[in-house]
Amino acid sequence: MRVLVTGASGFLGSQFVNAAARRGHEVVAAVRRPGSNLDASQRIMDVFDPKPDDMTGVDAIVHFAAVTGGAPENFYRLNAQGTLRLFEVAQGSGVKRFIHVSSASVYGADGNIERRPYRRGSYAGSKTVADQLICAAAQRKNSELRTSVIRPGLVYGPGMRASVIAGAGVVAPARILVCLGPRSAHLPIVHIDDLIQVIAATLEQEIAGQLEVWDVLAPVQPRRDQVIDEFADLTGGGWTILWIPPWLMIGIGFLAGVAQTLRGRPRGLVYKIRRATKFDSARLDSAGIWQATNVRPANDLRKCLVDGLLGQPKTSEVGLMADFGSIPAQLVAIGSAHPAAGMPKRVIVVGAGGVVRQLHMPVLQRSDQWQVVAVVDPDLSAASDIARRLGGTAARSIGDLDLEIEGATIVIAAPGPHHVALAEEALRRGADVIIEKPVSTSRLEFEKLKQVAKESVVTAIQNYRLRPNVRRLWRAMTERDVGPIRRVAVEFHSGRLATERAPWTRRDEFGRTVLGELAIHFLDLACVAVGRIAFPAQAVTSNLAHDGALIRLSALGTSTSGGVPVSLSISVTGTAQRCQLTFEFERASYEVTFFPEGFRVLPIRSTPLDDLVAALSRTVSYGFDRSPMRRRYPNRDSPHALIYQDHLTRTLAAPAPASRSPFSLDGVGDTMETLFELEDILSAQATS
């Protein structure tokens, strides 16, 4: 049978294409443009506005395609009217079989088809309307097109994008599970493998009438509390579970709905939340289609959670590690092994500012693996104050020290323009170096430092690589089969910077400072994921003040290794502070946020409940970071502590220079080259 599959590159469609091909069908993937990586022939067409010629030679259509984002009017125009148009063209072209993959979201809180679908939001509403249009068209007397409407529940499997646990709860900091809705309500879950098998069986099976409608759910639907308990058990237990009563959720939804109304946005949030909390899948038929197709579902709740939320070990070579190197895996492994105990390593701290006090002092004070022997800073009183707390002597420069430097570790936390000169002096005197970002402020100095450091251990501190939310991203990339990376977007906005510049920063260098001292954190995370990024000069737009200060920067580039698109947006205007990075892979998308910190698995389609849960999680995280509970987490797990540990491991390795690390000069090379290229473009724009 020749089968035309729409939405063939999506989460469900891509799985069906492979399954149908294995069952001997000739699969034709409907695509908008050539080049999709599918194991099927391709037909370029607009699936929402097809032409009769597009149906040439087609025996059956399996319709997965749906719009999940954009303007509300597009949802109804494409998902509803476009689906009807596809059905009518297929009907008039002699196609024998049509399978419309709908959704269990067409049901209201009472388990019946939603009577007023527009209250449910653009996506769910448009899918409900499409479902009704197809059912009506299929039952016309002159219709010879045999039609099946499939209504799957929450589909779980490798590559899914979920922001909540089966619609039941969300993970908050300090191992807290915030759970939503009544405990006893059943949830409509189904594993993707079972769903694909039953759709394929439905395609091959003759139907008695013109139309059949099936709910596709696991035969045994779990209760909400069973889902939460199973998730807690799979992740090692020790969770604090907080159940949010439905009335409180509805109250929060009411307030959010009022805010939406005042901002001129569509209303209906209260109804959506009420439906989410009252809907019980036990009212649906979870057995009929399995009996009709003789397909036996092979996956239970535990398998759904493992494959869909917790990830599975990668068994193929299509994941990130085959394409983009090993730095994320190295970052995940840091902290898993501890250097052997021995004599404390002697440390000389260069710098006595806020970075040393806030980030380095806690590590050096709490570890018996380091012995501070000196603190160096031009401000002798500041150096003496830190030396009293950490031990050792105080001096104005490294040259003023009357002690043996060879074999010691020199921590450079001075202003950025002095980093390379200080590092060169330390390396020439036989010390190894830990150096704060940015390692260098120019390409020439960076290359010079790499030459000097060939026989020494140099650790470049890029501490955001080891922030807890970022490590969750590295784990997802290395432990789950997410597929190749498709896109990265970086947004960094902070109006505070204009009034909080470091005192050593000259105004005509502020553009360099924003990139090299602040935005480098987030640009660095993008480079870890995709490698070096090239930004064409014509794709970089900047606004500079009359004194050279950077106001805004917008840039579009691609990675040099894989051609991955990367967008960068920086702004230092206004009063808001926001940083957000989006990493989109073939089978998953992740969002990493700062101020406050957060990590989110982006859903395939965002709903008000998803956004409400994400906002609640960020609020809990923000409060937790400022609460006494934060003191329960020792500084030995802080990013700087882990970097110190990695540095010590490298110095003890044999031979030390050969030991690789994501914090070596080579490990930060892609970031520095990308940074220098951007700075060169900004300099050229400033002088033109």
Give me the CATH number covering residue 507.
3.30.360.10
Give the model's confidence band at 443: pLDDT under 50 very low, under 70 low, under 90 confident, else very high: confident
How confident is the model at residue 371, as a pLDDT? 92
pLDDT at 66 > cutoff 50: yes
In a domain, 486, yes or no: yes
Taking the CA atoms of 26, 28, 34 and 35 in sequence, report the sign of the dihedral they define.
Answer: negative
Among 71-85, 158-172, 200-214, 379-393, which stretch is predicted with the lowest mean pLDDT? Answer: 158-172
Confidence of residue 188 (pLDDT cuts 50, 70, 90): confident
What stretches of 578-633 show up as alpha helix (H) in DSSP?
A: 608-625
Q: Is residue 627 part of a domain?
A: no
Supply the pLDDT for residue 618. 63
Averaged pLDDT for residues 649-664? 68
- Which domain-ending residue is among 250, 279, 312? 312
Tell me the residue range of the domain where 175 lies.
2-312
Whether 450 is covered by a domain: the verdict is no
Residue 391 lies in a domain: no
User: Tokens 């696991």 appear where?
Assistant: 218
* Residue 33: CATH number of its domain: 3.40.50.720
Structure tokens given for 462: 């890029």
pLDDT digits (tens, 9 = 90+) for 257-301: 676 666 555 556 666 677 777 778 888 888 889 988 999 888 888
pLDDT band with cut points at 50, 70 and 90 for residue 321:
very low
- At residue 199 the predicted structure's pLDDT band, cuts being 50, 70 and 90, is very high
In-domain check, residue 528: yes
Residue 343 CB-half CA count within 13 A: 5
Domain boundary among 281, 312, 343: 312
When divided into structural domains, the chain yields a total of 2
What's the average model confidence in pLDDT over 9-37?
82
Cα dihedral 479→593→167→127 (10° resolution): -100
pLDDT, tens digit (0-9, with 9 covering 90-100), for 494-523: 765 555 544 444 444 444 456 656 778 889
378 — phi, psi (to 5°)?
Answer: -55, -30
Residue 380 lies in a domain: no
In a domain, 293, yes or no: yes
Distance CA 657, CA 662 (A): 13
Q: Judge whether residue 102 has pLDDT over 50.
A: yes
pLDDT for residue 545 is more than 90: no
**Strand intervals (E) in 402-528:** 409-412, 432-435, 458-460, 485-494
Tell me the mean pLDDT in the region 159-163: 55
The last residue of one of the domains, among 312, 330, 352, is 312
Q: How confident is the model at residue 509, as a pLDDT?
A: 46
Does any domain span residue 598?
yes
Mean of pLDDT values over 104-120: 80
Q: Is the pLDDT of residue 305 over 90?
A: no
pLDDT of residue 628: 59
pLDDT of residue 344: 85
Tens-digit pLDDT profile for residues 331-349 = 887 876 555 556 788 999 9
By mean pLDDT, which of 161-170, 461-470, 539-548 is the weakest?
161-170
Mean pLDDT of the chain: 80
